[in-house]
Structures are given as structure tokens and as C-alpha cells.
Amino acid sequence: MQDKDNEFNGKTAIVTGATKGIGRDIAVSFARAGCNLGLTGRNEAELRQVATEAEGLGVICHTYRADLASADECLAMAEYFARQFPVIDILVNNAGLSYPEKLVDLDIGHWDTTLAVNLRAPAIISKVIARKMIEQGHGVIINISSNASLGGIEEHAAYCASKFGLNGLTKVMAVELGPHNIRVNAIAPTVVLTPMGTQVWGDPQKAAPVKAKIPLGRFAYPREITSAVLFLASDGASMIHGETLVIDGGAAARLY
């Protein structure tokens, strides 16, 4: 059941990549808090499943199937939600993908798709939603980055480049949108045990040396990222702006 006393009750959040993993957990958590939702993803049936769960919690939920590798579909989706909701309080740019491969084996199509989904899509979507937020006089935008934005990871050239770029985009958005009472931050998790995270890092032999560099000795769970998203979207984070919150179990604290 939704929490009628929660500050999110009656607000509206847009979540991209909402059908699986972190995005789904974020969407359902906002719904539990009474937040109406605009959800997007590539799979219509999976979108409907999440929407049904959210609506069962008593909130309004609109969905839009879109492939965020397409600039036109990003624009159409964002404009659709801008029309559907009188006010949009929160935007979570969560959708992302990765094609692990060494630079010398780089597939140019994979590079283009990764940069399109992970970096260009948040810019296009934020362009549309930020205009609405400026008109209404407030808003919060949260970009889901990665600790791959802090250093190089083998076989992740395109992914690292996209997430480094997303951190930079977050800074520019914060500078430009802050004067309009729109807060913008990013979250940079370590490996999260989502379907994508498990696909890339599910091999224990591959995962072991990475976990060894994390002082807490493990990867993250979606709930641990969702909690940070809800905090950054809340009034409790009202003076946090232009930051990238690293959630990595202490890995970035290690010098050697």
C-alpha cells in the first residue's frame, strides 16, 4: 500500500528503463510512496506488468514504449509525458546498456548505440522535461551513471566514455537549471546485481578480482540504489545539487 503521509504522495516521476533491474525497483518504490508514474522501456509487455503493479498501489501510470537509441523516439516519448501530466516533479534517467569488448575489437555499431542510449538519450529527454519544469518552477532530475565514470574498466571503452560524459552533462544541467529551482544530481554505482549486471559479472572468476577491490567485498543490490534515488528526490536533499553520489562499497576510496 502507498504511504499517504509520504512527501512523494501525489507527485509525478518519469523513469526510463523501467522494465527491469534498478529502473523497475525505482518505479515500484515511487508508486509505493504514492507517486504517479510515466514509464518507458523497449518491451511493451514488461512495461504493462510494471504499470499493473504500480496501478495496484493506487497511482496513475502512463507508459510509452521507446527505443532510446533513436533520437526521434526519445523526443516523442518525452513530449508524450509532458502532455500527459500537468506537473512532472521528478525525472530519473536510468536506461543504459553495455557491450563488453576490447577496444581493438570494438564494434562501431555498439559504440554508437551505447553513446546514444547512455548519453544522448538523457540529454534529449531532459531537454523536454526541463522545459516543463522551468514553466512549473521546480523539479528534480537524477541521472544514473556508474563507477565506470571514475576510471577505466577493461572491455568497457564505450560504456566508460558514455558515463564520463553523463557526469559532465549532469554538471552542465546543474549550472543551467539550478536558477530555475531544478536540482540535478547523478548516482554512480558499482556493479549492481540486475539482469544486465549479472550477465556481465555473473562469472565468479571474472567477478572475484573486482569484488576484491571493494572494501565491503560485494556488489550492490537494486534496493541500495533506489534508496539513494528517493533521498536525492526528497526535500531532505534540497541543497544537494550538481553532485555525483558514488555507491561502490568503498572501492573509490582505495589508493592501490
Q: How far separated are the first and last CA of the chain, in Å rounded?
A: 46
Length of the chain measured in residues: 256
| Structural contact between residues 163 and 186, judged by C-beta atoms closer than 8 angstroms | no
Pairing of strands 90-93, 182-189: unpaired
For residue 62, give the C-alpha cell: 502512463
HSE (CB half, 13 Å, CA atoms) of 146? 26
Neighbour tally for 215: CB within 10 Å: 11
Cα(48)–Cα(81) distance, rounded to whole angstroms? 16
Active-site residue among 64, 80, 99, 159?
159
Beta strands across the sheet bearing 61-65: 61-65, 36-41, 12-16, 90-93, 139-144, 182-189, 244-247
Q: Using the structure block, give the residue that is written with the C-alpha cell 554512480.
A: 188
The H or E element that residue 123 is part of is helix 121-136
For residue 1, give the C-alpha cell: 500500500
Q: Given its phi and psi angles, is residue 92 left (phi above 0), alpha (psi -120 to 50 degrees) or beta?
A: beta
- Which stretches of 137-188 are DSSP H helices? 157-177
Active site residue 159: yes
For residue 132, give the C-alpha cell: 516543463
Catalytic residues: 159
